């Protein structure tokens, strides 16, 4: 496909992003972020269902970046830790270190039932426990997996946009 053809297609299609739903109320304490939220994503151990939904939330259709949230490559840059999956024994220590490396004020969003309750594998020998045993959770996004729209809503509570 030629560059020109691609440009006309994009021009004709206009925006891929869906219209913005109504703005949720601001999470108490999130005023300090002032509409700019850097997100560090952590998969503490799961079936990779929730990560697909998270990446959809940051994709062009749900486009959470338009509200001021951005994925960052390092916990040192982050304001928000977005955590999926029940915490496995191997991920318990990396999770603890990642939380330690994140500057305050920081917020934690737990995405999916596994992170919140332990999920189907919650009693398994490889599971160290649900997420709330390791860190204080600010915003819960239930669902197995939750819809991208729910993840977008949780992030918008922090950006306030």
User: Which residues make up the interface to other proteins (CB under 8 A)?
Assistant: 3, 10, 13, 15-17, 32-36, 38, 60, 63, 65-68, 70-74, 76-77, 79, 101-105
Residue 34 or 142: the one with the smaller Cβ distance to other proteins is 34
Q: How far apart are CA 61 and CA 17, in angstroms?
A: 4
Taken in order 102, 161, 66, 18, the sign of the CA dihedral is positive
Residue 73 or 125: the one with the smaller Cβ distance to other proteins is 73
The angle formed by the CA atoms of residues 99, 68 and 71, to the nearest 5 degrees, is 40
Give min distance, CB of 12 to other proteins, in A. Answer: 11
Residue 28 or 32: the one with the smaller Cβ distance to other proteins is 32
Nearest to 74 by CA among 45, 101, 54: 101
Please give the structure tokens belonging to residue 27: 């999470």
Give min distance, CB of 63 to other proteins, in A. Answer: 5
Strands 107-111 and 139-141: parallel
Give min distance, CB of 70 to other proteins, in A. Answer: 7
Task: Return the DSSP state at 149.
Answer: H
C-alpha distances in Å from residue 90, one per residue of 43, 44, 48, 96, 141:
12, 9, 16, 11, 24
Residue 10 or 52: the one with the smaller Cβ distance to other proteins is 10
Residue 25 or 73: the one with the smaller Cβ distance to other proteins is 73
């Amino acid at each position: 496909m030629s560059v020109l053809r691609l440009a006309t297609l994009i021009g004709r299609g206009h925006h891929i992003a869906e219209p913005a739903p109504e703005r949720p109320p601001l999470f108490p304490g999130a005023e300090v972020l002032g509409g700019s939220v850097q997100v560090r994503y952590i998969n503490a151990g799961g079936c990779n269902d929730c990560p697909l939904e998270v990446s959809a939330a940051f994709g062009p259709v749900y486009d959470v970046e338009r509200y001021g949230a951005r994925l960052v490559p390092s916990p040192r840059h982050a304001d928000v830790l977005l955590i999926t999956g029940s915490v496995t024994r191997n991920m318990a220590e990396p999770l603890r270190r990642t939380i330690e490396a994140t500057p305050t004020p920081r917020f934690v969003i737990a995405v999916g039932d596994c992170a919140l309750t332990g999920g189907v594998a919650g009693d398994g020998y490889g599971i160290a426990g649900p997420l709330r045993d390791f860190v204080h959770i600010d915003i819960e996004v239930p669902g197995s997996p939750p819809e991208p729209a729910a993840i977008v809503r949780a992030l918008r509570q922090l950006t306030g946009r």
